[in-house]
Amino acid sequence: METISGARALMKALEKEGVKEVFGLPGGANLPMYDELYKSNIRHILVRHEQSAAHMADGFGRVSRKPGVCFATSGPGATNIITGLATAQADSSPMVAITGQVPVNMIGRDAFQESDIIGIANPVVKYSFQPRHASEIPTVIKKGFYIAETGRPGAVLIDIPKDVQQNEAQMEFPDEIKIRGYHPWTDPDVIAIEKAITLLLSSSRPVILAGGGVIISGAFAELQSLAEMLMIPVVSTFKGKGAFPETHPLSVGPIGMHGHAEANKIMAEADCVLAIGTRFSDRSVGTFTEFEKHLKIIHLDVDPAEIGKNQTTSVAVVGDVKASLRIFLRLLLQKATKKSEHNVWFDHVTEVKEYWKQNLKLHPGELTAAKILRKLREVLPHQSIVTTEVGQHQMWASLFYDVIHPGTFFSSTGLGTMGWGFPAAIGAKTARPDLPVVDIAGDGSFNMTENSLATSVLDNLPVIVFLVNNYTLGMVAQWQRTFYDRRMIGVDQKHCPDYVKLAESYGAQGIRVGNLDELGNAIKAGLKSDVATVIDIPIDPEEDVLPFVAPGTSLKDMILPS
Amino acid sequence: MWAILSILVENKPGILFKVTHLFRSRNFNIDSISVGTTQNPEFSKMTITTIGDEKQIEQIVKQLDKMIDTIEVKRLDEKKTVYRELVLFRVKVSKASDTMEINNIANSFGAKIHDARKDSIMLELTATPDQIENLQELLSKYEILDMAKTGVAALQRGGD
């Protein structure tokens, strides 16, 4: 037991959790913790807007699978991180956000820079804390990290009043804690898994649907062993993209609104799906009732509330998907089950894949989505980490950028937050400075958080912004072309900055390319650069993302390029 | 479908807010709610009655269970449960015979009379929501001036 201030205890508790860096921006109500941060060994990465601090922590958390930490002051500092909390929570990303608050005796008096951030954040966090005594801080931090990273990970908010940071107390740092109402892990039910195996083996057109849960749980090897053992084709959700190597013969790619044509086709033909770590989002499955028709669903998920939420399941297995898959494999080995490599279904899947490889019409021109993203894939080392923003470029990345090394592709898939990709890439680079990190961006999204260039340059976190630039809010424009008879409003971004000069003004590298060779060279230059590189790639604003499953329709009703 | 949920929660500030917020954000309905401390001062019990189809109610239970501040969430079987609500009515008395009639109605329901005045009368009844609705219907003939309900409290019978 030692008597120290709440702020000092906070830093000690963070160090005990293994935190080496925090992303943040100081202000009046978190000055005591910043003063202790100054004295600690934790690295501070200064952002230019608190939203980016939260996205950086999120990117860090997804890559390292340990909570990323962000700091913000009270009031507007705290409200600025809300989008970041909601994004992390929607995608089950582990994050701990620590905000300053007005002193306890000022709470509720509409003090300067006071906001009821606990109330505001409630629906977008996994849990929140507001310690009222300095002595609570060590336990609160321990609990916060435990909740953020266990079970289905999520965002945790810890709001610390200024006097609680300043006050001294006798501190006890617990090594273990128990939370009465929190049971993050369930042991997978072996009998349910046996039923699932029977169902899977008795089906003639089975498919594995890999969701984001496979990536969160790191169940890559287990998934691949299972697919190969049973020769079952693997489709994914968009969030599950790259849970399985997309160049593997059994990989069919992401399904959904902008899924691969072959994946949507195969999904619609399947008679049984082994869905692993997915919540069956409307963007993935189209209409719920249509999806589950003619389809037996086996659902593996860590979150019991996801079972039956959007789809009716035949067999459900609650538990960490990696643990569940290991039991699958063990039981299958005991049964010595192996499907022959030449089954009719696999041959059919291969044919369908080949057909779409040959027949999917692509947009004409030199710098088109397909060509630039395939060029990126060609030049980037396989282990490189890719993040995306939100919009057309994101869906093109899904269609044309193959993830070879599992778990190297990250996107704001649930909340769909424009401006996420660039700060998330910086967070990813913080977690893995040894790997190249690329943000596949659109101009509309990049405009939202481009000031993170300052952080990237000054904190020595060089990433590549692969800017797919159509001078338009492209996805909205596509919907206006498709569903609103070309009544284009609010989508024109011609008065954008010159991105080369913008990059250079921050001390970063800016390169505009006019053809694929220049693009290849620019990516290589970015990989070698000590500062961030913005590659401005002008494309045709009329290029659509196709295929397209219109909202409220089923996967089999894809709109194809004409 | 009507369901009674019994939710044991940490007796801490802000939990009622979180529970009711969950109902709002997940698009569920609260039909009635009652909250009180339990024999263990660390816990409170919320009894929430809700309306939805089978799938919705299953989701409500799962989402409540997922909440870190809930210790135990039970969906009570109506047939094996004692559930009661307390209601107070203030009813208008327009003529002398009304008092007699209202008294008779009260007697037939086992309701208590409070605060009998020349122009109004107050009734108290502890009963199931159905019985309360029946009483309300009968009293509406005399004009109900004001009313207040507590929400349902429920306990499963022993041995079940």
Tell how many helices (H) and how many strands (E) occur in chain A: 24, 20
Residues paired with A492 in a beta bridge: A472
User: What would the two tokens of residue B92 be?
Assistant: 């208008």
Q: Provide the chain B residues 77-106 that lie in CB contact (below 8 A) with chain A.
A: none
Looking at A2, A20, A39, A112, which residue is catalytic? A112
Tell me, what's the pLDDT at A554?
Answer: 86
Counting every residue written for chain B, the total comes to: 160
Residues B2-76: name the CATH superfamily.
Answer: ACT domain (3.30.70.260)
User: What would the two tokens of residue B30 be?
Assistant: 């609260």
Mark out the alpha helices in A20-100 (DSSP H runs).
Answer: 31-39, 50-64, 76-80, 82-90
Under an 8 A CB cutoff, do B59 and A308 touch?
Answer: yes
Cβ within 8 Å of residue A531, ≥6 positions away? A456, A457, A462, A507, A508, A509
Q: DSSP string spanning A502-521?
A: HHHHTT-EEEE-SSHHHHHH
Taking only the tens place, the pLDDT of each residue in B129-154 is 999 999 999 999 999 999 999 999 99
Tell me, what's the pLDDT at A342?
Answer: 61
Is A241 a catalytic site residue?
Answer: no
Cis peptide before A206 (omega within 30 of 0): no
Return the domain boundaries, chain B.
2-76, 82-156
Under an 8 A CB cutoff, do B68 and A181 touch?
Answer: yes
Tell me, what's the pLDDT at B159?
Answer: 66
Mark out the alpha helices in A206-258 (DSSP H runs).
Answer: 212-217, 220-230
Tell me, what's the pLDDT at B160?
Answer: 53
Tell me if chain A has a CB within 8 Å of the CB of B74: no
The domain defined by A2-171 carries CATH number 3.40.50.970 = yes
Q: E strands within A38-178?
A: 43-46, 68-72, 95-101, 127-129, 155-161, 168-171
Strand order in the sheet with A385-388: A409-410, A385-388, A437-442, A464-469, A533-538, A509-512
* CA–CA distance, A297 with A21 (Å, rounded to integer): 42
Looking at A113, A195, A269, A339, which residue is catalytic? A113
- CA A101, chain centre distance (Å): 29
User: What would the two tokens of residue A137 be?
Assistant: 């801080």
CATH class of the structural domain B82-156: alpha beta
Model-level pTM?
Answer: 0.95
Tell me, what's the pLDDT at A338?
Answer: 66
* CA–CA distance, A474 with A486 (Å, rounded to integer): 13
Under an 8 A CB cutoff, do A181 and B55 touch?
Answer: no
Question: Contact B83/B4 with Cβ under 8 angstroms?
Answer: yes
Question: Could you tell me which chain B residue has the CA closest to the CA of A151?
Answer: B66
Q: Mutate one of B66, B72, B73 to test the A interface: name it (highest A CB count within 10 A).
A: B66
Separation in Å, CA B51 to CA A123, B23, B58 = 22, 11, 11
The domain made up of A190-358 has a fold known as Rossmann fold (3.40.50)
Q: To the nearest 10°, the Cα dihedral for B51, A302, A182, B55?
A: 10
pLDDT for residue B112 is more than 70: yes
Taking only the tens place, the pLDDT of each residue in B40-58 is 999 999 999 999 999 999 9
* CA–CA distance, A367 with A307 (Å, rounded to integer): 44
Strand order in the sheet with B43-51: B32-37, B43-51, B2-10, B70-76
The domain made up of A361-538 has a fold known as Rossmann fold (3.40.50)
Q: How much is the ipTM here?
A: 0.90
Tell me, what's the pLDDT at A500?
Answer: 98
* CA–CA distance, B91 with B89 (Å, rounded to integer): 6
Under an 8 A CB cutoff, do B59 and A305 touch?
Answer: yes
Taking only the tens place, the pLDDT of each residue in A290-336 is 888 889 999 999 999 999 999 889 999 999 999 999 999 999 999 87
Tell me, what's the pLDDT at A341?
Answer: 57
Low-confidence ranges of chain A (pLDDT < 70): 337-342
Cβ within 8 Å of residue A345, ≥6 positions away? A204, A205, A206, A233
Cβ within 8 Å of residue A527, ≥6 positions away? A379, A380, A381, A436, A464
Tell me, what's the pLDDT at B129?
Answer: 96
Same fold for the pair B2-76 and B82-156: yes
Taking only the tens place, the pLDDT of each residue in A114-154 is 999 999 999 999 999 999 999 999 999 999 999 999 999 99
Cβ within 8 Å of residue A444, ≥6 positions away? A389, A391, A418, A472, A473, A474, A493
Question: Contact A214/A223 with Cβ under 8 angstroms?
Answer: yes
Residues paired with A97 in a beta bridge: A70, A157
Where are the domain boundaries for CATH 3.40.50.970 in chain A?
2-171, 361-538
Q: Provide the chain A residues 493-532 that lie in CB contact (below 8 A) with chain B.
A: none
Separation in Å, CA A31 to CA A41, A58, A98, A102, A114 = 17, 23, 12, 11, 15
